Structure 1
Amino acid sequence: MIRTEIKVETMVYEIKKTEDNIISTLGDIKQTVADFTDMFSDMRGNITDEMLKRDKEIKRREESFKTLFKETRINLTSDIEAEKEKLIQLQGKLEQAPIAFFAHQVKDVKLDITDEIIIFEKTFTNEGTGYDTSTGLFTAPVGGLYQFVVHTCVYPKNYIYIGLVMEGNVIANTVNYGDSSHCCNTFGVIMRVRSGEKVWVKATVSGSNYQLYQDSYRMNTFSGVLVSN
């Protein structure tokens, strides 16, 4: 009987001990689960924050790329339009008719009036129709760099004073004297002329015995050509 009681007490003690161990183990498991839950929550929070940061950075880069792309497109469009305009202007210059004239045959060879315009009444060439045979004036159809040449002849023992004029200003002039024969002289100039400006030849000094000479071998001429725009 006593042994049975002792055995029962022992069993009760073992059961109690086992119960305490189970309770302790359950407590440890619960704590472990709680720690894991906290750790997972922290990790999830960190991951979420990192994802938000990355998302903001991606959006920032997207906006930066969009801005850069827009600026590049605007600049390229502007450059393309500028080059297109240059090509159009170049094409216009290439397609533009040449401007040149060569006039001869002086209408009135007497140089008895100072500043009188010398009119060359015939033309071999008048591309661009800038030279007027009725007035002796060349009117530039377009602005640019022009070359003008004047060729005049004089009687023996005689003087002539000739000037090339642009808009009333003498640009170049010469004095020609025929010693023992009919002498000819040539002078010219290269100058920039604006569209609509006029160029002509005149007598800078007059006299009753001042007179141009011309025949089939000697020609008085006035010529000009557009060198470049």
Structure 2
Amino acid sequence: MRFSLFFSFVIVVGIYSYNFSEAREPVCSKFAYEEQLLEKMIRTEIKVETMVNEIKKTENNVISTLGDIKQTVTDMFADMKGNITDEMLKRSDEIKRREESFKKLFEETRTNLTSDMEAKREELTQLQGKLERPPIAFHAHHVTNLVLDTSDEIVIFTKSVINEGTGYDTSTGIFTAPVGGLYQFDVHICALNGNYAFIGLLLEGKIIALDSSYAESYYTCSTFGAIVRVRSGEKVWVKSTSSASNRQLGQDSVRMNTFSGVLVNN
């Protein structure tokens, strides 16, 4: 469209130039006039065609140059996009690797902390249980049946001075451990004047300490005992280990038979 307008403008200018020059030239004849007019029109058409060709050539060069610039810019952006994409992918992979490493480290730390917390909680629970447990201790005296004429007879101390934890039974003479732990037991026995006393300390029917006394004089007594680990619910008692007519305990205002025990450590 632009070239058509331009071409029309050129023709009008040519015709105007021709008419102007024709007005100044002398008129010789009608034939000469027409011949000159035709020649000028031909020259003008040639010039216009040459100008049009030059304009088209220029336009093609401009279009080609613009195409080259566009392609260059496109290639440049494509390269930039490729480089940016590669860099972003590298960064993304690095972030993923760091994230996985962090997750692994966090999980290991959480597992270790959980394990440590469970161990500490168990220790605190055990410590709390120990603190909440009442002290275990008993001390009993006064034997009702002093005659030891029956073998394996349990010596029953019927009066309790202290019985923390209520482990000792004054009716049976048997101590039942309320809790497991390390216990110390002591037995104090006095034999009647002119008699013997053979006594044993037993844990669950097994002898853990023995003693024998003979009261040649009036005030003959002896003490024995043991430190032993006892499980919760196990039983400890004192018994006669030898029976005869001259086996008898003695007690009065100056002599006392006793049986005691205490939890040392659990």
Q: What is the TM-score normalised by the length of structure 1? A: 0.81
Q: Choose from 100, 125, 142 the match for 1:105.
A: 142
| Runs of at least 5 residues in structure 1 that lack an aligned partner in the other structure | 1-18
Indicate conservation of the 8 Å contact 2:193/2:250, yes or no: no
CA drift of 1:28 comes to 9.9
Q: What is the SS of the residue equivalent to 1:222?
A: strand
The structural deviation recorded for 1:86 is 1.9
CA displacement at 1:33 relative to structure 2 = 8.0
Identity of aligned residues (%): 65
Instruction: Please report how far the alpha carbon of residue 226 of structure 1 lies from its aligned counterpart in structure 2 after TM superposition.
Output: 0.8
TM-score by length of 2: 0.70
Superposed CA deviations along residues 86-123 of structure 1, whole A, max 9, x for unmatched, are: 21221221121111100000111111111100000101
- Note if 1:64 corresponds to 2:101: yes
Contact kept in structure 2, 1:147 and 1:189, CA below 8 Å = yes
Give the CA RMSD over aligned residues. Answer: 2.7
Code of the residue aligned with 1:187 in structure 2: it is: F
Report the equivalent of 2:27.
none
Aligned residue number for residue 131 of structure 1: 168
Task: Assess if the C-alpha contact under 8 Å between 2:155 and 2:238 holds in 1.
Answer: yes
1:212 corresponds to which residue?
A: 249
SS in 2 for 1:185: strand
Deviation at 1:62, TM superposition (A): 1.2
Letter of the 2:238 partner, please give it: V
Cα distance, 1:77 vs structure 2: 2.9
Q: Which residues in structure 2 correspond to 1:1-229 (within 5 Å)?
A: 38=75, 41-229=78-266
Q: Deviations over 1:69-93 (max 9, x none)?
A: 2332233233223312321221221
* In structure 2, distance between residues paired with 1:162 and 1:60: 78
Q: How many residues get paired?
A: 211
**How far is 1:61 from its partner?**
1.1
Supply the distance in 2 between the matched residues of 1:180 and 1:128 (Cα, whole angstroms). Answer: 39
Cα deviation 1:38-62 (Å, max 9, x = unaligned): 5654454233212201111102211
SS at match of 1:57: helix
More strand by share: 1
User: Within 2, Cα distance between the matches of 1:178 and 1:189?
Assistant: 23
The farther-off stretch of 67-76 and 141-150 is 67-76
Paired letter, 1:198: K
State the AA in 2 paired with 1:65. Answer: F
Distance between the aligned counterparts of 1:108 and 1:118, measured in 2? Answer: 8
User: How far 1:67 sits from its partner (Å)?
Assistant: 3.1
Equivalence for 1:4: none
Aligned equivalents of 1:208 and 1:182: distance in 2?
Answer: 20
| Separation of aligned partners in 2, 1:144 and 1:106 | 28
Task: Give the aligned residue type for 1:122.
Answer: K
SS in 2 for 1:205: coil
1:151 counterpart letter in structure 2? H
Q: Quick one: distance in 1 between partners of 2:114 and 2:206?
A: 47
Q: Which has the higher helix share?
A: 2
Contact conserved, 2:156 with 2:173, CA < 8 A, in 1? yes
Amino acid of the residue matched to residue 154 of structure 1? A
Q: Residue 192 of structure 2 contacts residue 251 of structure 2 at CA under 8 Å; is this kept in 1?
A: no
